[in-house]
Structure 1
Amino acid sequence: MRVIGGEYAKRTLKTLSSQLTRPTSDKVKESLFNSLGQYFDGGRALDLYGGSGALAIESVSRGMDKAIIVDKAYQAIKIIKENVAMTKEESKFEVLKMPDEAALKKLATDGYYFDYVFLDPPYAKQRIANVMAELVELNLLAEDAIIVAETDKDTEIGVGNSYCLIKEKKYGQTMIRIFRYEGVTES
């Protein structure tokens, strides 16, 4: 696996040799970032299920100012830190070892908000709709924030009225959905 585009392009990323993670393939990652406009003009990204940190590193490589990478597994955190060190710009990243819910609460308490959120939880534990609701409840999203959800092809996501699905694409067994945050709507 490698960084596809931007400042860190072609640098190799380490991955976990485990059944608990399934790194986003280079092909899917390239297509995803092409869909997002390829390059960013600053902003903050959150990779809530970091694995190797590849999506966060790719986003900073393509112009995001900062990325927060969260994972609860010690081995994943070790790999993420090694991959972040490869960028030689560690100050552009923050790595948190904690479960998703605890991380979201901490980030809200610390006053963070995000322009891009990457949600790629292990397929066996799909909680994307719940996490998307928590992002809204905790005011963690910038205006028009983009949420990228990666699931298996059979998983449905019901996300409520705060989001608009702007793109959906299947890659073999993987489904990528891109949502735009539309703000809190009155019920």
Structure 2
Amino acid sequence: MSDTRAFIPINIAVLTVSDSRTEADDTSGGYLVKAVQESGHRVAEKRIVPDDIYQIRAVVSGWIADPAVNAVITTGGTGITGRDGTPEAVAPLLDKEIEGFGELFRAISYQQIRTSSLQSRAIAGVANATFIFCLPGSTGACRTGWEDLIREQLDNRHMPCNLVMLMPRLSEK
């Protein structure tokens, strides 16, 4: 962390992808909302959609087009069974994929859940200057993703570099 830079709060939208969760029992989305706020950022919006690629894509597309949203974090739908379709919904929207995110997420997860980490299809990328992170649906996976990867990259004080430095919407102000 840099002692000389002032923290820049950004607007982060949170999307839970689930056929069964409601606001009452969405622990993963709830964790992300709390973590975002505790880190000093603002929650632009929080939604839950069924695991349907077109509904996921519609919500994420809206946030990508919204100049007030700087980042999107999704939870759920990254597995390999049933209707898991978050990567398929989000990947076509990306201008660039951040390949290292999924690789690093699985490497970190391996330390916690061993070979079960290979079942994660976590991805990240950027679209229209909006950074998008797709995490698995478990609260533990969301904690790993936020605490070990995303939080520092969305903190402009993190050195030697971070994603906030690359957000043209913030540097134009």
- TM-score normalised per structure 2: 0.40
- TM-score normalised per structure 1: 0.37
